[in-house]
Amino acid sequence: MVLDFEKEKLIRELKKRKPNKVLVQLAEGIKQNAPEISEVMESLGIECIFSGETCWGGCSVAVQEAEALGVDLIVHFGHAQFIETDFPALYIEVKDLLNLNPVLKKSVQHVKEFGTIGLSFSVQHKHDLEKIKKFYEDLGKKVILSKKAGHVAYEGHIVGCQYEGLKAIENEVDAFVIFGNQFHSMGATLAVKKPVILIDVYNDDVRNMKGLRDKILKQRVISIDRLRDAKNVGVIIEVKLGQKFGSPKKILQKLRDAGKNAILITMSELTPDKIMNFYSIDAFIELACPRIAIDDFAKYSKPILTLKEALVALGEKSWDDILETGII
Ligand code: SF4
């Protein structure tokens, strides 16, 4: 994988902001590039500390770590800006330099029946947008970019928990084409009803996500049923700044009104080992990244639900509403 760390932008910004000490956050897939980044910082005389905490999305902005370490700036690599923070932060999105021609050609047969396609991409592929659009337009397709809505940074940009921009164009397109990996396309197929085609640039593969949608929806229904039967329920919040999906107070009250013992649990990040010792809890609702409940279903022995799913179990929303608005 050849990556462009936008060194010119990085150096320009660092010279402008003149930090003495920075905290560097690297997205999970690029942590191996830490020495390369360190060299740039050192060449400018900047003290640099790398965060070893997980960094799955632009929602993770390590403000607490930065304050504890007394740094002047956070440099966050690999994601677009997701939220505003009071703490100074610089986002370097990182470009994936790939030859997309083989996978674009492979996609032709998958899109042949669709006249208008909704196009979305993960941020590493933003620089290839014009090339991708032209490829499909030359095939006679109309290409519409998903809207900039919610926390996404650009038109066409896709983030794993934000699909309003795709839903906004759903009536205008015959199918969605997602450039990236399974993570974003799986979220998309749960959010929209039109076909979702994944252009998996990392595995040089093209797939229709339909089968996966059906499988995941069945798993979600099982989790909802288990919350209905649960007596003791844990509501999990994370301290990550961008991961606040719903009001803990309100959901606790609703659970108690439904006759359940509900407790609030805080974590830096939800993982199976952290909930393992809460033996007496029958089901968990997480108000953190909604993808944990869905993508990591098989890793947890107890059901983990998103807020929307919990509202279905409590009878406040119908499953059909959720399917209509998207389960994420
Ligand atoms: S909340 Fe989850 S899906 Fe959304 S940006 Fe963060 S890690 Fe990605």
- 135-173 pLDDT, tens digit per residue, is 999 999 999 999 999 999 999 999 999 999 999 999 999
Task: With a cut of 90, say whether residue 210 has pLDDT above it.
Answer: no
**Which of 161, 163, 270, 287 for mutating ligand 1's site (highest number of atoms within 8 Å of CB)?**
161
* For residues 130-134, average pLDDT: 97
Ligand 1 and 306: CB distance under 6 A:
no
What tokens appear for 88 in the block? 């100074």
Cα within 13 Å of Cα(229), Cβ side = 7
Does residue 57 line the site of ligand 1, with CB under 6 A?
A: yes
**Distance between CA atoms of residues 260 and 200, nearest Å:** 43
Determine if ligand 1 sits within 6 Å of the CB of residue 55.
no
Q: Residue 120, Cβ neighbours under 10 Å: how many? A: 27
Instruction: Using pLDDT thresholds of 50, 70 and 90, give the confidence band for residue 1.
Output: confident
Centroid of ligand 1 to alpha carbon of 44 (angstroms): 32
State percent of the chain over pLDDT 90.
90
22 — pLDDT class (breaks 50, 70, 90): very high
Q: Which of 23, 50, 45 is nearest to 35 (CA)?
A: 50
Instruction: Report residue 322's pLDDT band, with 50, 70 and 90 as the boundaries.
Output: confident
Residue 234 Cβ inside 6 Å of ligand 1? The answer reads no
Distance (Å) from CA 291 to ligand 1 centroid: 7
Collapsing DSSP to helix, strand or coil, 61 comes out as coil
Greater confidence, 304 or 241? 304
How many whole angstroms separate alpha carbon 233 and alpha carbon 281? 5
Residue 61, ligand 1, Cβ within 6 A: no
Domains of the chain: 2-94 (3.40.50.11840), 101-208 (3.40.50.11850), 213-325 (3.40.50.11860)
State if residue 195 touches ligand 1 by the CB under 6 angstroms criterion.
no
The average pLDDT across 269-298 equals: 94
Q: What is the pLDDT of residue 245?
A: 86
Q: What string of DSSP letters covers 131-153?
A: HHHHHHHHTT-EEEEPP--TT--
DSSP states of 1-24:
-EEE--HHHHHHHHHHH--SEEEE
Checking if the pLDDT of 328 tops 90, the result is no
Q: Is the predicted pLDDT of residue 5 greater than 90, yes or no?
A: yes
Name the average pLDDT for the chain: 95
Q: How far is the CA of 137 from the centre of ligand 1 (A)?
A: 31
- Sign, CA dihedral 143-182-211-205, equals positive
